[in-house]
């Protein structure tokens, strides 16, 4: 069965540094990969979608890569801020936006 792995341990970084989160998947060949942000007590919020034919996608301070050979996506936040502290979820999928399967999420803590 398909498996999605995100580092379950919290990632602690200093403000201003680049945060890099990893999403690995197995037994799966997704056409899309999405990243969401979830704050405590709130629902997830969509950040970025990358397609299998795109190697990299950027949005402001966010950058996502998608390596279908390694079966891995990397999510980068440059010049991180304490407000970036949250849990980040990845979701590889065959169909954009439908029947998404999510990883367990990685909690990011940015310290001032």
Partner 1 sequence: NAGVTQTPKFQVLKTGQSMTLQCAQDMNHEYMSWYRQDPGMGLRLIHYSVGAGITDQGEVPNGYNVSRSTTEDFPLRLLSAAPSQTSVYFCASSYLQGASGELFFGEGSRLTVL
Q: Please select the residue that binds partner 1; options are 41, 53, 69, 83, rule is CB under 8 A.
A: 41
12 DSSP β-pair partners: 109
Spatial CB neighbours of 109, under 8 Å, sequence gap ≥ 6: 10, 11, 12, 13, 85
> What are 94's two structure tokens?
């065959």
Q: Is 97 in the site for partner 1 (CB under 8 A)?
A: yes
Task: Give the Cα separation of 82 and 59 in Å (integer).
Answer: 18
Question: One symbol per residue from 9 to 38: x for binding partner 1 (CB under 8 A), - otherwise; what is it?
Answer: -----------------------x-x-x--
Strands, E assignment, 1-112: 3-6, 11-14, 19-26, 32-38, 45-51, 56-59, 62-67, 72-77, 86-93, 106-111
User: What is the smallest separation between the CB atom of 55 and partner 1, expressed in angstroms?
Assistant: 18
Q: Which stretch binds partner 1 (CB under 8 A): 21-29, 54-62, 75-83, 88-96?
A: 88-96
Pick 64 or 80: Cβ nearer partner 1 = 64
Q: Enumerate binding residues for partner 1 (CB under 8 A).
A: 4, 8, 32, 34, 36, 41-46, 49, 89, 91, 93, 95-105
């Amino acid at each position: 069965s398909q498996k999605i792995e995100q580092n379950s341990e919290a990632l602690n970084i200093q403000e201003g540094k680049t945060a890099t989160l990893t999403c690995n998947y197995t037994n799966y060949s997704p056409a899309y990969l999405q990243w969401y942000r979830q704050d405590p007590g709130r629902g997830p919020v969509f950040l970025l979608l990358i397609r299998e034919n795109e190697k990299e996608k950027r949005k402001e301070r966010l950058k996502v890569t998608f390596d279908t050979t390694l079966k891995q996506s990397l999510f980068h936040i440059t010049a991180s801020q304490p407000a970036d502290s949250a849990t980040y979820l990845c979701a590889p999928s065959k169909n954009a936006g439908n029947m998404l399967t999510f990883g367990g999420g990685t909690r990011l803590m940015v310290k001032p």
